[in-house]
Amino acid sequence: MLFGDDAWMIWWFYNALFSVGFLLLLPRFLLRMRRRGGYARDFHHRFGRYRPELLAAFSEEARVWVHAVSVGELYVALKMMDEWRAVQPDVRFVVSVTTSTGYTLARKHLDPRDVAIYFPVDFPPVMRRVLDAIRPQAILLVEVELWPNLIRLARERDVPVFLVNGRLSDRSFRRYQKVRMITRHLLPMVDIFCMQSTIDADRVIALGAPPDKVRVTGSAKYDIAADTESGEGEVAVEMLRLAGFTPEQPILLGGSTWPGEEEALLDVYKGLKTRYRDLSLILAPRHVERVPEILDLLKKSARSFVRRSTLNPGGTPRSAPVDVLLLDTTGELRQFYRHADVIFIGKSLTQHGGQNILEPAAFAKPVVVGPNMENFKSIMADFLAAGAVVQIETLQGLRRAVDDLLANPDKREAMGLSAARVIREQQGALKRTLDAVLPVCTLLPDE
């Protein structure tokens, strides 16, 4: 029997609760569509409605469905798909994302043979329509995206489901514990769990995953970070030239910043500018829709600034460097890390959770973070043990840390080399993941 005697009540409860929640959140979705220029594009995907050309692409060949919420998960998915295709060249993918930023990047970076869609609403009629259209050979959920109807309906169709690069933050674990009556029925339907750490593995087992289905494969983000070659590096060089920056002047970069952190960095910059007269600051907010509020902040700071979006390649550089370069574009931050001297990673000082420190570390750069890196516990443990990151508690601590690194080039170099070494030593998660997934997929009948 696929479900226990009381399982139908669980799914009825979930679907009723989901329906009410979706209706309550619908005004928020509509407001977001209005605020974000690209959010409304292909919004019909969320209800399993696709244009004829997309339906034709689905019907041409069977595909593996990979779901990646946003940018970070998408990069993991793209790298994994490349490595999968190296083993099975004929495999085709459909990639679903939740955010408009992720959708834009997916359309930009996907192989022409693959298809990008928005993730559909997890409601039975919608999910059945999507599964009928895609006819997936397998479903891969990147990190932790446990959608009950998708998993349940896939199981009914004998479509294997894998959780890859799985991670359960403190916050996520607490939330899932509150609905363990659902997870204890749901998780046994997943075929394999590839978790980032033993902590993540223990947590998913505590929620109901069968221990024999759980693997510890490490964090695939180490594999992503190791790939530091990209043509976008030339774009960063050109933008710095146009902003008037010279190779000799030191750069402080705030990457993936959240509300309150731009103000903190401007305060630090103001305090250090008297000592490091050539110091420049790059601000890269995590969400570009916050650019208007950051512009207001920059205007009040009395600092000269320029927006990346206003710089045109091949133009005439400024006669003198601006104080602040505002990176108001998507998908370019990674290559600006290469040219910074000290990097602060956001969502860690005034917010909670943290952002990815591996990208700047891959360029052998010293990284400073705030106290709130809950979403990257295992990675932070690796870096702290190697002396490859500075974690501060307060704004004053941030200023002291940046000052210390700017004043000590040898320390910056040593930290950066330690960070790059950690990444090299921790690679291999994607290979271990594919070693677990591919044997199951190769047993599937050809369509």
Predicted confidence (pLDDT) per residue in 409-435, tens digit: 999 999 999 999 999 999 999 999 999
Nearest 5°: the CA angle 128, 129, 133 is 115
Residue 319 DSSP symbol = S
Residues contacting 446, CB < 8 A, separation 6+: 62
Residue 322 DSSP symbol = -
Contact 45, 118 (CB under 8 A): yes
Query: What gap in Å lies between CA 190 and CA 277, rounded to an integer?
Result: 57
Query: What gap in Å lies between CA 124 and CA 133, rounded to an integer?
Result: 14
* Strand duo 192-195 + 214-216: pairing: parallel
Confidence label for 272 from pLDDT (cuts 50, 70 and 90)? very high
Query: What gap in Å lies between CA 89 and CA 82, rounded to an integer?
Result: 9
Which contiguous run of DSSP H or E holds residue 194? strand 192-195
pLDDT at site 2: 44
Q: What are the beta bridge partners of residue 326?
A: 283, 307
Of 187, 73, 79, nearest to 141 (Cα)? 73
pLDDT at site 38: 54
pLDDT at site 118: 94
Token duo for residue 50: 């696709």
Phi, psi of 283 (to 5 degrees): -110, 125
Residues contacting 445, CB < 8 A, separation 6+: none
pLDDT at site 60: 84
* Strand duo 251-257 + 342-345: pairing: parallel
Query: What gap in Å lies between CA 399 and CA 385, rounded to an integer?
Result: 23
Confidence label for 267 from pLDDT (cuts 50, 70 and 90)? very high
Neighbours of 251 (CB within 10 A): 20
Query: What gap in Å lies between CA 210 and CA 183, rounded to an integer?
Result: 11
Which amino acid, one-letter code, is at 435? D
Q: State yes or no: pLDDT of 310 exceeds 60.
A: yes
What is the tens place of the pLDDT at every residue in 103-157?
Answer: 888 998 999 999 999 999 888 889 999 999 999 999 999 988 889 999 999 999 9
Contact 405, 390 (CB under 8 A): yes
Rounded (10°) angle between helices 409-426 and 377-385:
130
Of 403, 401, 400, 369, nearest to 258 (Cα)? 369
Long-range contacts of 40-43 (CB under 8 A, 24+ apart): 41/100, 41/103, 42/103, 42/117, 42/118, 43/118
pLDDT at site 12: 67
Which contiguous run of DSSP H or E holds residue 18? helix 7-35
pLDDT at site 229: 55
Neighbours of 414 (CB within 10 A): 15
pLDDT at site 447: 46
Q: State yes or no: pLDDT of 181 exceeds 80.
A: yes
% of residues, the chain, pLDDT over 70: 89
Could you give the count of Cα atoms lying within 13 Å of 309 in the half-sphere of its Cβ?
8
Quick one: average pLDDT of 292-314?
A: 92
DSSP states along 403-427:
HHHHH-HHHHHHHHHHHHHHHHHH-
Query: What gap in Å lies between CA 92 and CA 110, rounded to an integer?
Result: 11
Task: Set out the domains of the chain in order of their start, with CATH numbers.
Answer: 7-18+27-224+428-441 (3.40.50.11720), 232-426 (3.40.50.2000)
Q: Tokens 């998915």 sit at which residue?
A: 77
H-assigned helices in 163-305: 170-178, 180-186, 198-206, 221-225, 232-242, 261-273, 291-301
Quick one: average pLDDT of 32-54?
A: 75
Token duo for residue 363: 């360029």
Confidence label for 199 from pLDDT (cuts 50, 70 and 90)? very high
Mean pLDDT of the chain: 89
E runs forming strands in 224-370: 251-257, 280-285, 305-307, 324-326, 342-345, 367-369
pLDDT at site 273: 94
pLDDT at site 131: 96
